[in-house]
Structure 1
Amino acid sequence: MAKLRTAAEDPVSYARNWKAKHQRPVIGSFPMNFPSEIVHAAGALPVVIQESRTPITEGRSMLAEFYCGYTRSVADQAAIGELDVFDGFVAADHCVQLLGAVDAIRYVRPEKTVHFAQFTSAMDDPWSKPRVDDRIGQLREEIESVSGKHFTPADLASSIKIFNKNRQLLREFYELRRSGRARITASEMQILVKSSMVMDIEEHTAILTRVRTELDIHPEPPENVVRLHLSGHFCHAPRPEILDVIEESGGLVVDDDLYAGFRYIATDMPEDGDPFEALSSWYMDRNLNAPCPTRVTNKVDWDTYLLSSLEVSRSVGVIVLMAKFCEPHMLYYPELRKALDAHGVPSLLIETEHEGLPVETLRTKMETFVERIRRQSSPVPA
């Protein structure tokens, strides 16, 4: 876990050391739906760009304060040279704020390759899949140009299997946590997933296998705990201290749909057929397995998915983690809250920002929330 934690907390140093050791390119990608397999197949290291804990300095003059903490952090990292280790940057989709952050990279590091694949957000139209197929073709050309390596369908098929194995192993941890047979804290689970975003995937799988082997498994789940579901927080990982306070206040996180969580690993790629078709199929299927308000579809919606997830995990409350100024989440939240209220599910909204939160204020809110759930579930005296 120590090695995974180090990589998760300092992905730039990990990428720098990997590049020095292997003498191969490192390519940075942005949330939420970039297929890292295509970079791996080209012999480069795919790294999902993370929010830095460094206070924002140079980046303050590049993006307005009403941009979310993640995008302001990305701009700042580019401005102070932290992202110089990356040989190129790619994005499959983006919000307006992320577009501004990547434009900031273009401005301060014009020599770096930046490619927008721009997958579609409309998932049900007849042209949606062909459009994504076309973007996959363009993406392949860009990746090969940056990496200097032409890769074959067989190379990509091999990478798909490697990443699927890693996702499947991570989902085992989720299932053990949902069942209550393994005590995995929210911050530990975040380390497991976040480190997979930045490490050499085969190295990560090897370490993950060892962690799984040494994990304490209990025959019976604990009783009388307040089981909670964490929801939201697209693009970047919430700060570990927030996750720790949630559980120190009497709740037990048993499931989530966070980006640096189950959303990232929810969908495998098809291993049969054309591997390039598999990339676009994966993109289309992701919204069915973990719906997102940044996608437009008539088949599924986030609130129905969330209510179904609560039944599976037996969660009795929802903590909504919303990054400040995250427009897609802000616009959808009223619908989510309405659905939870209609089904009598207690929920608490916690708005996060790059500069951090007053921990004791958060602790008071969480303790009150957990106590409210306990009182609602207690039998009424005769």
Structure 2
Amino acid sequence: MYSNLSADEILSQLASIAANPYERAKEWKMETGSKVVGCYIMHFPEELIHAAGALPIVLQVKEEPITSGHAYYPSYFCGPTRSIVDQAAKGDLEFLDGFVGGDYCIQVVGGTEVLGNLLPNANNMFFRLPVGNQPWTHGDIVTGLKELKRDIQRFTGNEISDESISKSIRIYNKNRSLIREIYALKSENPGLLTASEMLSIIKSSMVMPKEEHNAILETLVPKLAKQKDSRGSDAVRVFISGSLCGAPKSEVLSLIEESGAVVVGDDLFHGLRYTSNNIAEEREPLDAIALNYLDKNTSVPCPTRCDPKTDWPQYLVDSVRKNKADQLVILMTQFCEPHMFFYPDIKDAMQAEGIPHLLLEISHELDSIETIKTRLEAFVEMAV
């Protein structure tokens, strides 16, 4: 189906899916008669839902203004949670048969409760994910996974066997591996893909069947490998950090590149953070999923995990060096308390290592685009 398309044509199709993130899920539901489950951003074991024959999708932030949601959620909470509440209030999430929330962030907990009221016909499930990394944490995560597995089985009416979970893990691992291959190609040839194109690749993965996305990427990767693009060869090399839940604003990504920079790496949720680790296929599946949550905080630290051993500042220093980046741009979602808590340490680490960095606090409404543009242009010009 995709073999006759060029890389640009495939990327265009993925961008279309990403721009209308729920349409493919709605089509899949009509085609199969099966259930669609929304995952309330970050840290959810999609493999368990997939193993039950349902389609898990990561709920997406929409860039349209928040209106109806103001009646249900305060304006001083983060844009990603407010956007999802707003979508539910407008009826955009009525196609969901169920959704899963979690307890790793107080704003997500509140948003999940609101969704329960706004979507009375959708099954409301909860994933209890213990934070930190203590001797008991792994076992407690396994217990939480067993509770979620029980709830998914009741909801779908389908048994979730170890074999079905293992099969789902393999499918999801393949997707993560293919996306990391694209990251490696972009690292060697930064102008090969724009930051917005990388965003579309990952965002589309979050909202469509993984088997289908794998087939697309298996066609795309060899096509990209044959391409050489000199765009960005003389540009300032930038590493992007932040946007821990929602996708970064496409306007901001474009402004970074229009300012004369090229994005050479990231730790975004809609980026390396989502694809960083494969789940061990040789272990008992729930045990392997639990270990993966602990391992991910080591490979790409997350401030919501509350692990005292987390050294996100040093991780960023190492990532900037590894990607041979000239500068670091931090995209901090407005009112994201976990990210805000870590920023002073990040700032100190960057200053100590002599790494220029720019903090951009991004609101959902993005009412300061001209200010952001001016700051980015001045920042990138410093490295020229």
Give the TM-score, by structure 2 length. Answer: 0.93
2:136 equivalent to 1:127: yes
Give the match for residue 124 of structure 2.
114
Q: What is the SS of the residue equivalent to 1:247?
A: helix
2:209 equivalent to 1:178: no
2:157 equivalent to 1:148: yes
1:159-198 CA deviation, whole Å, 9 max, x = no partner?
1111101100100111111222652111111111111111
1:35-56 CA deviation, whole Å, 9 max, x = no partner?
1111111111110001122322
Aligned length: 373
Change in 2 beyond 3 A, CA 1:221/1:270: farther
Q: What is the SS of the residue equivalent to 2:342?
A: helix
1:335-381 CA deviation, whole Å, 9 max, x = no partner?
1111011101011111112212443332211110011122xxxxxxx
AA of the residue aligned to 1:19: K
Bigger drift between 37-46 and 84-93 goes to 84-93
2:5 equivalent to 1:2: no
2:383 equivalent to 1:341: no
Displacement after TM superposition at 1:294 (Å): 1.3
Give the match for residue 59 of structure 1.
69
2:22 equivalent to 1:12: yes
The 1-side partners of 2:274 and 2:24 are apart by 20
Give the match for residue 327 of structure 2.
317
Q: What is the SS of the residue equivalent to 1:260?
A: coil
Give the match for residue 377 of structure 1.
none
Change in 2 beyond 3 A, CA 1:269/1:368: same
Give the match for residue 178 of structure 2.
169
Q: What is the SS of the residue equivalent to 1:309?
A: helix
Bigger drift between 145-154 and 22-31 goes to 145-154
The 2-side partners of 1:298 and 1:90 are apart by 27
Q: Is the 8 A contact 1:179 1:313 kept in 2?
A: no
Superposition pairs of residues 200-211 of structure 1, within 5 angstroms: 200-211=209-220
Give the match for residue 252 of structure 1.
262
Give the match for residue 8 of structure 2.
none
Which residue among 263, 286, 289 is the counterpart of 1:276? 286
Q: Is the 8 A contact 1:246 1:366 kept in 2?
A: yes
Q: What is the SS of the residue equivalent to 1:294?
A: helix
AA of the residue aligned to 1:144: Q
2:313 equivalent to 1:303: yes
2:56 equivalent to 1:42: no
Displacement after TM superposition at 1:221 (Å): 9.4
1:281-315 CA deviation, whole Å, 9 max, x = no partner?
11111101100111133444111111111111000
Give the match for residue 104 of structure 2.
94
Q: What is the SS of the residue equivalent to 2:238?
A: strand
Bigger drift between 128-137 and 2-11 goes to 2-11
Q: Is the 8 A contact 2:104 2:131 kept in 1?
A: no
Bigger drift between 158-167 and 97-106 goes to 97-106
1:229-259 CA deviation, whole Å, 9 max, x = no partner?
0001111101211101100100110000001
Give the match for residue 380 of structure 1.
none
* Structure 1: stretches of 5+ with no match in the other structure: 375-382
Q: Is the 8 A contact 1:181 1:217 kept in 2?
A: no
The 1-side partners of 2:322 and 2:59 are apart by 32
* Structure 2: stretches of 5+ with no match in the other structure: 1-10
Q: Which runs of 4+ in 1 moved over 4 A?
A: 219-223
Bigger drift between 85-94 and 310-319 goes to 85-94
The 2-side partners of 1:20 and 1:315 are apart by 46
1:101-141 CA deviation, whole Å, 9 max, x = no partner?
11111122233221221211111x11101100100100101
Q: Is the 8 A contact 1:231 1:256 kept in 2?
A: yes
Identity %: 39
The 1-side partners of 2:346 and 2:32 are apart by 46
Structural RMSD (CA): 1.7
Q: Is the 8 A contact 1:179 1:221 kept in 2?
A: no
Q: Is the 8 A contact 2:102 2:108 kept in 1?
A: no
Change in 2 beyond 3 A, CA 1:371/1:222: closer
Q: What is the SS of the residue equivalent to 1:333?
A: helix
Displacement after TM superposition at 1:85 (Å): 0.9
Which residue among 86, 89, 94 is the counterpart of 1:76? 86
Give the match for residue 295 of structure 2.
285
2:209 equivalent to 1:187: no
2:167 equivalent to 1:158: yes
AA of the residue aligned to 2:358: L
Superposition pairs of residues 204-219 of structure 1, within 5 angstroms: 204-215=213-224, 216-218=226-228
Change in 2 beyond 3 A, CA 1:59/1:151: same
Give the match for residue 265 of structure 1.
275
Q: What is the SS of the residue equivalent to 2:304?
A: coil
AA of the residue aligned to 2:344: P
Q: What is the SS of the residue equivalent to 2:307?
A: coil
The 2-side partners of 1:219 and 1:248 are apart by 17
AA of the residue aligned to 2:15: R
